[in-house]
C-alpha cells in the first residue's frame, strides 16, 4: 500500500480523509472524482443489499442425484473416468459452487471466455476451499475435459462431465438443441439432502447480455478501471497457451 499522501502534501478528500489523487490534480478533477466517489458508495451499498437478499433466498428445490464422469488430475486412476455423484462433491462443506463451463462435446476446447473465468477460479481455488466446495461441470466428455484442463493448468479443480445426464439442461445451460451456455450455480446440503440455492447466467435479460456474472472475474473489474474500459475485447484461447 502506498504512503498516505495526506502527510506529504497530496490532495485529500476532506469528507473522509481518503487520498484519491496526487497534489498536481486540478480542482475540476477533484470535483469530478468526489462526485464519482459518491456514486461508488451508492453502488457499494446496493451491492451489499443485493448480496444480503441473495443469502436470504428461501429454501430451494431438492436436486436430483446426478452422477457425473470425472478424470482425476495427476496419474490416471483405474482404467478410465470414474463416476462421481453431485452429493460427493461437497466433501466436508455444506455448500457447493458449480461453474457451468461452455464446452461442446468433440470441440477440443472450451469457450474462450469461459476458460478465462476458470483460469481465475484456479488461481483462488485454495482460498475458496476454506469456505466451500467448488467444481466445474461441462458437457464435454471426461477425458476431453481433463485434457483441456491440463493445457490450461487447472490441476487444482474438480472437472466433471455431464455428458450422460440432464444436469446442464435442468439448470438452464443447455438449449433444446443441445447448445451449451455458461453460468454459475450454488447448492446446499443439509441432513443428506442436496438443494438448489442460486443460479446466474450472463444474460440478465434479453437486452442485458454477457455481463450478468462479470463480478466473478477480476479481468472485467480491472478493465472497467481503464479510461477506454473493456471496449469490444473478447478473450481468446490462443494467447494463454503462448505465455
Global confidence as pTM: 0.88
Give the C-alpha separation, 110 to 102, whole Å: 6
Q: Mind listing the pLDDT tens digit for each residue in 109-144?
A: 999 999 999 999 999 999 999 999 999 999 999 999
Q: What is the pLDDT of residue 176?
A: 84
Band of the pLDDT at 15, cuts 50, 70, 90?
Answer: low
- Could you please report the per-residue DSSP string of 62-75? BPP--EEEE--SSS
Q: How far apart are CA 194 and CA 185, in angstroms?
A: 13
Q: What residues does 173 pair with on adjacent strands?
A: none
Amino acid at each position: 500500500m502506498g504512503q498516505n499522501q495526506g502527510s506529504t502534501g497530496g490532495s485529500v478528500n476532506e469528507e473522509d480523509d481518503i487520498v484519491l489523487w496526487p497534489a498536481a490534480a486540478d480542482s475540476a478533477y477533484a470535483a469530478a472524482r468526489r462526485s464519482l466517489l459518491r456514486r461508488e458508495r451508492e453502488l457499494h451499498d446496493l451491492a451489499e443489499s443485493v448480496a444480503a437478499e441473495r443469502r436470504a433466498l428461501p429454501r430451494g428445490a431438492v436436486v436430483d442425484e446426478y452422477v457425473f464422469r470425472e478424470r482425476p488430475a495427476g496419474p490416471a486412476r483405474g482404467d478410465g473416468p470414474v463416476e462421481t455423484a453431485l452429493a460427493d462433491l461437497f466433501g466436508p462443506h455444506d455448500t457447493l459452487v458449480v461453474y457451468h463451463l461452455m464446452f461442446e462435446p468433440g470441440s477440443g476446447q472450451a469457450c474462450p471466455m469461459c476458460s478465462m473465468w476458470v483460469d481465475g477460479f484456479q488461481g483462488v481455488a485454495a482460498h475458496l476451499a476454506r469456505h466451500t466446495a467448488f467444481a466445474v461441470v461441462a458437457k464435454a466428455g471426461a477425458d476431453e475435459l481433463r485434457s483441456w484442463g491440463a493445457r490450461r493448468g487447472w490441476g487444482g479443480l474438480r472437472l466433471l462431465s455431464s455428458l450422460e445426464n440432464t444436469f446442464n439442461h435442468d439448470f438452464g445451460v443447455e438449449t433444446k438443441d443441445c447448445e451449451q451456455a455458461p453460468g454459475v450455480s450454488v447448492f446446499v446440503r443439509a441432513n443428506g439432502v442436496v438443494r438448489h440455492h442460486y443460479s446466474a447466467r450472463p444474460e440478465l435479460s434479453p437486452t442485458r447480455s454477457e455481463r450478468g456474472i462479470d463480478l466473478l472475474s477480476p479481468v472485467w473489474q480491472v478493465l472497467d478501471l481503464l479510461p477506454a474500459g473493456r471496449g469490444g475485447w473478447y478473450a481468446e484461447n490462443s494467447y494463454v497457451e503462448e505465455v
